[in-house]
Chain A
Amino acid sequence: MKLTYKHAIGAVVLLFGAAAPWLISGYELSLLGRFLALSILAMGIMLTWGEAGILSLGQGVFFGLGGYALAMHLKLEGLNLANGDMPDFMVWSGVSALPRLWYPFANGFFSLACVVIVPGAFAAMFSWLVFRRRVGGVYFALITQALALAFSTLVISQQAYTGGFNGLTDFSTLFGWDITSLGAARVIYWITLVLVVLAYMFLSWLLSSRFGVMLRATRDGENRVRFLGHDPVPYKVVAFSIAGTLAGIGGALFTLHSGVVSPALVGVVPSIEMVVWVAVGGRNILWGAIAGTLLVNFAKDQISSALPSLWLYGLGALFVLAVSFLPTGIAGLFQPDTAAERVVRRMLTRTKVRTAE
């Protein structure tokens, strides 16, 4: 492999990333850790939206599945189940015995396996059902949005099993390790950073493989691909499933960082926000998805603490600006006039002409 200036930049960024616990305050580190966890999810959106042309407005669902799978274990750890102990919120809700669904989550390894498997498997099943019927484009986006709405409504309504609107919070240990200490925050941060790097490397390889080419081919012309003898469905399902898995892992890490998972993070609005991060950062360039997530979320933190009512307008404006003037996002500025950018521009002008008619 030839080393280029890109590798050098990557190494420097990574070095600063690894040294961040000594460079920034504990509060900033906690934010950075959360946003890095979110950027794992954002890379999945880059894969599906940017490379496969599948816009999902329901990534919050997979994020939530990962987050809740881990949180359920965190709520059970340290409880004596044989003794009839139950998580605090269940006691308050008047539940008489721990629901069956909860039992397996007492095992930490089962829980971790669920974080990875459940969102991916659910995404695969869901998208297979939809793509098999050749439903795509805007219709798919609408279905995913409905899914996000249904999921958050379900979580809120089943208070006795899910903690309802307040979600699951107040965690103390994971595998007997105190996760509330400052030292633990650093370790969780580094774990997050490692997973970001692994996800980045995996997706870089995937996009350079023949699978990546087939995915872009499907985005460019699903019918053309079909009439070349390929079935486009498995490519789209696998891509969507990988994005679901990444969202789940991101959700679990976010839960560890923030100490809470709640319906406020999995519904329609957060799902749309996730798409905005990637639109701003750049949907066809992998590091753009990470940069966009960090940038938008730090901006959100600053703006919403200074002028809370302004943030939603800011978010909307950001999305409109990114889509109209920077179709390939901020990352596109560093790689101007790339193939993808020209095609996206062309598509936008064509849409404009059509609406003008």
Chain B
Amino acid sequence: MNATPAPILMMEHVTVDFDGFKALTDVSLSLSPCALRVLIGPNGAGKSTLCDTIIGRVRPSSGKITFKDEVITDLAEQEIVRRGICRKFQTPGVLPTLSVMENLLVSARKNRSFFRTFTTKVPAEERESAESILEKIGLTDRRDVIAADLAHGEKQWLEIGMVVATDADLLLLDEPTAGMGPQDTQRTAELILSLLGRHAVLVIDHDMSFVEALNGYVTVLHQGQILKEGSVAEIRADPEVTAVYLGRSDDDDAAAA
């Protein structure tokens, strides 16, 4: 890492309290524009809660979140998305009765005002962006299939495509390879790496082979607190992180995922 650019997202001392259970305790995290960050940690570490907090699905009890120099802690979900953050959910959140292309076009709408929807015309710019994403996620010949009929891996890619189609500056990808075989996992890693020139990406996963393929800066979360930050090699070598995973081998992790 050379001279650090101004962070695109900053979480400062964020605590999330679910009726006494602290899902996140005093978490501070900053993400750089167009960079990759991988968030790992055992089940229940608070990884998804962290995503939920950024996107406004869960409200922190204390602390603040700043995105592009604007405090977004109390904005409505769609307002946060409009500022330029979009999230992929853990279980594929595609729109099942819409075709692949329609899913992407709903995501790619530049002007999100509902007044603009009383037309059958799709702006050329949005259509082109959807077409190029369709190609990127390898679903060009599946464009008219409804999303419910896609294979599991295809749904995951479609949702990544939808998130990319919003043209958000920060993408949060929650377990993008859940339920995928090794080959698809590798393709997903390549897909994510190809996004970095344009978007900052935060990936949650616990499949270590996938994390290694991404080879990004890693943050380890444990019991709602940040345990360690560093490169993949540093994290691998860290005894504390190994202890947290209770000596479980990578293969077990992959199987658990």
| A interface residues with partner B (beta carbon < 8 Å) | 205-206, 208-211, 213-214, 216-217, 219-221, 223-231, 234-235, 238, 339-340, 342-343, 346
Contact = CB atoms under 8 A, between A and B. Distances in A.
Interface stretch (B20-28, B100-108, B134-142, B208-216): B100-108
Nearest to A209: B120
Contact of A228 (B57, B81, B116): B81
A259 B146 CA distance: 47
B39 to A, nearest CB: 18
A340 B109 contact: no
Q: Which of B78, B81, B105 lies at the interface centre, i.e. has the most chain A CB atoms within 10 A of its CB?
A: B78
Chain A binding surface, main DSSP class: helix
B97 A216 contact: yes
Contacts of B89: 224, 227
Interface in B77-101: 77-78, 81-82, 86-87, 89, 93-99
A229 B82 contact: yes
Nearest to A215: B117
A220 B98 contact: yes
A227 B86 contact: yes
B130 to A, nearest CB: 12
Nearest to A234: B114
A340 B98 CA distance: 9
B97 A210 contact: no
28 contacts: A209-B117, A209-B120, A210-B105, A210-B109, A210-B120, A211-B117, A213-B102, A213-B117, A214-B106, A216-B95, A217-B102, A217-B106, A220-B96, A221-B95, A221-B96, A224-B94, A227-B81, A227-B89, A228-B107, A229-B78, A229-B86, A230-B106, A230-B112, A231-B78, A235-B117, A339-B99, A342-B146, A342-B149
Contacts of A223: 93
A238 B115 CA distance: 10
Given A213-B98, A342-B148, A346-B148, A227 B106 contact: no
A55 B131 CA distance: 35
Chain B binding surface, main DSSP class: mixed
Q: Which of A223, A224, A231, A234 lies at the interface centre, i.e. has the most chain B CB atoms within 10 A of its CB?
A: A224
Given A213-B106, A217-B98, A238-B114, A229 B120 contact: no
A98 to B, nearest CB: 42
A169 B248 CA distance: 80
A210 B112 CA distance: 11
Interface of B: 55, 57, 77-78, 81-82, 86-87, 89, 93-99, 102, 105-107, 109, 112, 114, 116-120, 122, 146, 148-149, 162, 166
B148 A228 contact: no
Nearest to A238: B114
A223 B93 CA distance: 9
Contacts of A216: 95, 97-98
Contact of A343 (B97, B107, B118): B97
A229 B114 contact: no
B81 A229 contact: yes
A234 B95 CA distance: 19
B177 to A, nearest CB: 20
B117 A339 contact: no
Nearest to B145: A339
The 4 closest A-B pairs by CB, nearest first: A229-B81, A220-B95, A211-B117, A210-B117
A332 to B, nearest CB: 14
Contacts of B146: 339, 342-343
A184 to B, nearest CB: 36
B162 A213 contact: no
A235 B112 CA distance: 12
B135 to A, nearest CB: 21
Given A211-B118, A230-B78, A346-B148, A225 B86 contact: no
Given A216-B98, A220-B95, A210 B119 contact: yes
Nearest to B172: A227
B81 A211 contact: no
Contact of B117 (A214, A224, A226, A227): A214
Contact of A230 (B97, B98, B109, B149): B109
B95 A226 contact: no
B118 A209 contact: yes
Contacts of B148: 339, 342-343, 346
A342 B149 CA distance: 9
B168 to A, nearest CB: 8
B96 A228 contact: no
A228 B106 contact: yes
Contacts of B149: 339, 342
A231 to B, nearest CB: 5
Contacts of A213: 98, 102, 105-106, 117
A224 B119 CA distance: 22
Contacts of B116: 210
Nearest to B92: A224
Contact of B114 (A206, A208, A231, A343): A231
Nearest to B121: A210
Contacts of A211: 114, 117-118
Nearest to A342: B148
Contacts of A230: 78, 106, 109, 112, 114
A339 B77 contact: no
B92 to A, nearest CB: 10
